[in-house]
Amino acid sequence: MIKLYSYYRSSAAYRVRIALNHKQIEHSIEPVNLLKKEHQSADYKAKQPQGLVPCLQTSDGQFLAQSGAMLGYLDALYANARLLPEDPFEAAKIQSFVDVIACDIHPICNLRILNYLTGELKVEAEQKLTWYRHWIELGFAALESMLSNSQYCFGEQVTLADLYLVPQVYNALRFEVDMTVFPKIMHIYQNCNQLDAFINAAPENQIDAL
């Protein structure tokens, strides 16, 4: 059985949890407590050399790091509920949307970056929030312009874009970003969160939720 090493508030783990649910893949969740530094243990780093979550253990005992690689692997292995369409251009459009989050928003707004700002660089808490909101709002403005008025990011079916967008919106709401200026994003967020795959993957519904 597939096993996902996960932390309930990790955006990257959240994406993979949604995919596993969406594709109805039998799996188990192994919590990794970031607050207790379990991700820095030698045992965990033997599985995930960066010491980050998530980490995916395949059914034959191999390990994968990085959520994008995991999602590609799952989409290739399980053909049901495909996350990317077959048409190369349409798939590239979705990947372009995904990369705004995966490459430009998430890396500079995730927990270890925010902790470095306040810990090592002695940035004040309010300055940290200003940093976070600036990059989220800049990225979300671009994403909003890429969306139509469809039920999900790219039409009436869930795609990879929705799996990336929902966790990022969840984080933005946590940090009190004004989401009223992004009505298309919020419409999609609300639609996705009516689906069991998203509900069951939500941070508050995880076994390690604090």
Each domain of the chain, given as residue ranges in start order, spans 2-81, 88-197
Contact 151, 191 (CB under 8 A): yes
Q: What would the pLDDT profile of 46-95 be if each residue is shown by its tens digit?
A: 999 999 999 999 999 999 999 999 999 999 999 999 999 999 999 999 99
Are 2-81 and 88-197 the same fold in CATH? no
- Structure tokens, 208: 């390690």
Q: CATH for 2-81?
A: 3.40.30.10
Q: Give backbone dihedrals phi and psi of 57, rounded to 5 degrees, phi first.
A: -100, 120
Alpha carbon separation from 177 to 8, 40, 129, 131 (Å, rounded): 21, 31, 9, 11
Look at residue 124 in the predicted model and tell me its pLDDT: 81
pTM of the predicted model, to two decimals?
A: 0.94
Q: Which CATH number fits domain 88-197: 3.90.1210.10, 2.60.120.10, 1.20.1050.10, 3.50.30.60?
A: 1.20.1050.10
Look at residue 205 in the predicted model and tell me its pLDDT: 98
CA angle 201, 62, 2 (to 5 degrees): 30
Exposed / middle / buried, residue 188 (Cβ in 10 Å: 0-12, 13-18, 19+): buried
Q: What would the pLDDT profile of 157-193 be if each residue is shown by its tens digit?
A: 999 999 999 999 999 999 899 999 999 999 999 999 9
Mean pLDDT, rounded, of the chain: 94
Confidence of residue 123 (pLDDT cuts 50, 70, 90): confident
